[in-house]
Amino acid sequence: MAKGFDVIGDIHGHSAALESLLIELGYRETGGAFGHPQRQVVFVGDLIDRGPGQLRTLQIARRMVEAGNAQMVLGNHEFNAIGWVTPNGSGGFMRKHSKKNRKQHSAFLSAVGEDSKTHRDWIGWFRALPMWLDLGGLRVVHACWHEPSMKLLGSGLAEDEIVSAAKGTDLHDALEIVLKGPELYMGGMSYTDWGGNCRDHARFRWWDPAADTLAAGCEIPPNSLDCSGEPFAPLPQTPLDSGRLPTAPTEVPVLYGHYWRSGATPQIDGPLSACLDWSVAGGGPLVAYRWSGEAELNRENLVAVRSQRESGASESPEPLMVWSQ
């Protein structure tokens, strides 16, 4: 019986960083699976896309899950991988095979071989993953813990209905909230994101108990420009309709990934939530939270490793350094 959980953020194919982090956490590879005598890993999802070690990352995680040494929740990238192969009923697929989407998914597709038996096998494994885990004193979800959405989603992706939910349906909205996080319409304002796309919705800071106005609730990257190239003007202090929006945890701590946090040293949001995605695919550290039953999260329990040279095509582990304890 596990005495604690080591919750690991988005990996995105950075298998060397994952191996270093597991070793740093005291896990050892025996009989083909990493394990720890007292502890269990929980992956927050997004094992795939982007990095050089797609298959190695998947194999490490799956072998740990099958050995009872880990659990995992579905990330939006695994969900998109399922949509990539799921017909939409009108000749296309639930995840559109656009140039942009193919590029985002290309590291995974070339590692498994598109349409191969290996590809289908991994999709089958993704479909059996839970979308969230309530571990008693700790909750884990990829993007947002939101009980009304979870009630709608019910037991999971084994249901074709969920994978094939059309845009605009309550089921689709629920999936978006849990796997990609809620967004707010900015009342006609817009900003240019890192990919150069003009966005009129912003990510909602659902984890922040003070996010009760448009200005406080929208996550706008620092130094953003609006869509005409001018500095992004401050958002108005319009109160938000709090009855309809996900709210920050009030009792049980929630750990999540997804948000591409950046900064010199990983931080927690506060005593009841922490994002564990610190952008390993963008050169940041891979981060875990070591939870041992505490009712309030503590920054000291973050463990991070950083890849020094993990940008080539090699799947072999590279030397890594400990980023922070």
Which region among 29-37, 41-49, 215-223, 225-233 touches Mn ion (by CB under 5 A)? 41-49
Q: State in angstroms the smallest separation of the CB of 28 from Mn ion.
A: 27
Pick the closer one to Mn ion by CB: 48 or 165.
Answer: 48
Work out how close the CB of 73 gets to Mn ion at its nearest, in angstroms, rounded to a whole number: 12
Percent of residues in the chain assigned helix, strand, coil, to nearest 5: 30, 20, 50
46 binds Mn ion (CB under 5 A): yes
Reading the block at residue 112, the tokens are 């498994």
Asked whether position 310 contacts Mn ion by CB under 5 A, the answer is no
Assess 10 for contact with Mn ion (CB under 5 A): yes
- Give the list of residues 6+ apart from residue 98 with CB closer than 8 angstroms, or none: none
Taking the C-alpha atoms of residue 10 and residue 73, their distance in angstroms, rounded to an integer, is: 11
| CB 44 to Mn ion: min, Å | 9
Site string for Mn ion, 187-206 (x = CB under 5 A): --------------------
With CB under 5 A as the contact rule, which of the stretches 5-13, 14-22, 224-232, 261-269 interacts with Mn ion?
5-13
Number of residues that bind Mn ion (CB under 5 A): 2
- The distance of closest approach from Cβ of residue 75 to Mn ion in the complex, given in angstroms and rounded to an integer, is 6
Within the chain, strands assigned E span 4-8, 28-30, 33-35, 39-43, 70-72, 132-134, 139-141, 183-185, 191-192, 198-199, 201-204, 218-219, 254-256, 273-275, 286-291, 302-307, 320-324
Q: How far is the CB of 17 from Mn ion (least distance, A)?
A: 14
Q: How far is CA 164 from the centre of its chain?
A: 21
Residues in contact with Mn ion by the rule CB under 5 A: 10, 46
